[in-house]
Chain A
Amino acid sequence: AQKITQTQPGMFVQEKEAVTLDCTYDTSDPSYGLFWYKQPSSGEMIFLIYQGSYDQQNATEGRYSLNFQKARKSANLVISASQLGDSAMYFCAMREGEGGSEKLVFGKGTKLTVNP
């Protein structure tokens, strides 16, 4: 079974609107972390936001927020007020366990296109 599932291969949004990118995960470890990365067409990986399994509140970083629903094992990324520069691939990733190697397992990604 896939540990990270991103069911939306592609998403479209109008500039200035909000968009939600879905991510579900599978783990039996009570301690884990969820990361979102952005990959523009230039190819680099840019860290956006982090949510820990024990965090009581949903993470926020500027226009990015994470809708964390622990019981449903989902960690959806919400981008508010979309900008043309938000067009990119978005990857959800999970770290299992505490301490150790901090290895990440990535989903297959969602390609977001922001239309003017």
Chain B
Amino acid sequence: NAGVTQTPKFRILKIGQSMTLQCTQDMNHNYMYWYRQDPGMGLKLIYYSVGAGITDKGEVPNGYNVSRSTTEDFPLRLELAAPSQTSVYFCASSRPRGNQPQHFGDGTRLSIL
């Protein structure tokens, strides 16, 4: 079972460049999420989606965009990368029931230089 797959695993960007972090899940989960984890910190929610065509901002959305055209895919777009966006990015998915855990991808380690 693939679960939640994130690509790439590592990336170095220059300031001002743009890129898309890919996330796909094969569990037919309605809900998907993007988090960032800064060194020594917990995860902070960037954006989330409760279904195809529906997205909403989380705690730290500035500098990012998302789209959800299918149930499976939830890409995260960074426009005009800044050093403050250096972080580890996690994509997760879950079923729409309160006791269901979120399933996480392995993360993308992104450095902005």
Interface residues of A (CB under 8 A from B): 4, 31, 33, 35, 37, 43-45, 47, 50, 52, 91, 93, 95, 98-109
A104 touching B99 in the complex, CB below 8 Å, given contacts A44-B107, A45-B104: no
- With a cutoff of 8 Å between Cβ atoms, the chain B residues found around residue A102 in the complex are 31, 94, 96-98, 100, 102
Residue of B nearest to A33 (CB): B98
How many positions in chain B have a CB within 8 Å of any CB in the partner chain?
29
Residue of A nearest to B92 (CB): A45
Q: A44-B107, A102-B98 are in contact. List 9 more A-B contacts (CB 8 A).
A: A43-B106, A44-B106, A52-B98, A93-B42, A101-B31, A101-B50, A104-B43, A106-B35, A108-B40
Complex Cα spacing A91 to B50, Å: 24
Q: Is the CB of B41 within 8 A of A108?
A: yes
Across the A-B interface, how many residue pairs have beta carbons closer than 8 Å? Answer: 64
A103 touching B101 in the complex, CB below 8 Å, given contacts A44-B106, A91-B43, A108-B41: no
Q: Is the CB of B98 within 8 A of A108?
A: no
